[in-house]
Amino acid sequence: MTIAALDRAHVWHPYTQHAVAPDAVPIARAEGALLFEPSGRPIIDAISSWWVTLHGHAQPEIAAAIAEQARTLEQVIFAGYTHAPAAELAAGLAARLPAGLDRVFFSDNGSTAVEVAIKMALQYWVNHGAPRTSIGALEHAYHGDTFGAMSASARSIFSAPFTQHLFDVVRLGDPTDFDVVLKALDAAPPLAAVIVEPLLQAAGGMRVWPPELLRAIRERATLLIADEVLTGFGRTGPLFACETAGVTPDIICLSKGLTGGFLPLGATVVRDEIFEAFLSEDRRSTLFHGHSYTANPIACAAGRASLALLDEASAAKRENIKLLNEFYLRALSSHPCVENARVIGTIAAFDLSGGSRDYLNPVGPRLAAFALERGVLLRPLGNVVYVLPPYCITTEQLDTVYGVIRSFLEDAL
């Protein structure tokens, strides 16, 4: 049987309505910004394979680090044991993060990094003997698909079947409305924490919001959780989006690009004050959370290699992508179907006018299919079109991506 046939018979894909979706596209290998079908046909990965591929596919330095580590130590329990890849990655993160974020708790992915952060924040107050039970979160937020992360996220079709099982949060409004958010925050009861996606709400529609509001939230929030699962590692320009606002959160959540896109790994990094609230001779103050593959040595080795690649050359690539995105969006903005064109770092987005403004708008799958026929991977969020490439993408490849988008606007619409 072919890969496609085996997949069709046995696999359940994420975010996929199998009753109407086309067959999954088999990919045999990848290199740089390109994916290759078994036939050899290349596809430009314009969305970093769901926002994870940082430097490029099959990046040699990361592949070599994984191979070397797999021959040495592939896994060990992380409760009571440690190893060089985890300790060195933790130290490397602490050195690159905003000053004061020094203690790293490893997990498996973005959702679990957020789950850990929420549990830390809630238990922090319990351990201090002054429990706070409410979390503040922004409208349009998306923090993941596990239950705590869903609770902090905006209510949507993603979470609708589980509404009665989610805990309530204090919803602070749309972050593009400065005054509404601050009024809601000032009127809120004492909160255990406020959680935000700094400067960019990605799954919520690639919504860009101002650093001035992030600074104002930081001033008011006793504990601030920054979900930088997408925005971390240079996606918005600086290594971390919080840096644009000159803000240091109390807790930061990392994943996606953490290993350069090679392996799943999450990290929740906190200030020492948070960690110290869990230190006690009473073992009931322990953070009782963990994963079988916490700090997997191979994943940590990938993370260590990826972090080393975030150098001046990487910063120059990111700046070039930003300039190219701005150039291409200026040209597209004159089209009558294009609204609210925006660029933040390596990410460009715009809204398609007409039709519903939600995830189920059929224009998204139409554009995705149109692009795939022309050798480009795009995955719009409903009517929101975005380009979020790996840092190695070339000018010629980006020109092709925008050429496909331009053709769709001119021909299909």
Domain ranges of the chain: 3-59+311-412, 62-308
Phi, psi dihedral angles at 225 (to 5 degrees): -105, 120
**84-96 vs 297-308: helix crossing angle, rounded to 10:** 40
pLDDT digits (tens, 9 = 90+) for 126-178: 999 999 999 999 999 999 999 999 999 999 888 999 999 999 999 999 999 99
Could you tell me how many residues make up the chain? 413
Helix (H, G, I), strand (E, B) or coil at 279: coil
Q: Residue 376 pairs with which residues in a beta bridge?
A: 44
Distance (Å) of CA 153 to CA 157, 158, 302, 358: 11, 10, 29, 15
Quote the CA–CA distance of 397 and 364 in Å, as a whole number.
21
* 115 in Cβ contact with 149 (< 8 Å): yes
* CATH among 3.40.640.10, 3.90.580.10, 3.40.50.970, 3.40.50.720 for 62-308: 3.40.640.10
Burial 334-357 (b: 16+ CB within 10 A, else e): ebebbeebbbbbbbbbbbbeeeee
Exposed, middle or buried, 120 (CB in 10 Å: 0-12/13-18/19+)? buried
Query: How much is the CA Rg of the chain, to the nearest whole Å?
Result: 21
Quote the CA–CA distance of 160 and 84 in Å, as a whole number.
43
pLDDT digits (tens, 9 = 90+) for 241-281: 999 999 999 999 999 999 999 999 999 999 999 999 999 99
Reading the block at residue 66, the tokens are 């994984």
Quote the CA–CA distance of 281 and 17 in Å, as a whole number.
51
* 374 in Cβ contact with 407 (< 8 Å): yes
Reading the block at residue 243, the tokens are 């840096």
Residues belonging to the active site: 15, 142, 227, 256
Q: Do domains 3-59+311-412 and 62-308 have the same CATH topology?
A: no
Reading the block at residue 135, the tokens are 């979390």
Task: Tell me the longest C-alpha to C-alpha distance in the chain.
Answer: 69
**Mapped to the 3 state alphabet, what secondary structure does 19-58 carry?**
CCCCCCCCCCEEEECEEECCCCCEEEECCHHHHCCCCCEC
* 156 in Cβ contact with 174 (< 8 Å): no
pTM for this model (two decimals): 0.96
pLDDT digits (tens, 9 = 90+) for 351-407: 999 877 888 889 999 999 999 999 999 999 999 999 999 999 999 999 999 999 999
**CATH architecture of structural domain 3-59+311-412:** Alpha-Beta Complex (3.90)
pLDDT of residue 355: 77
- Whose tokens are 């644009």? That residue is 244
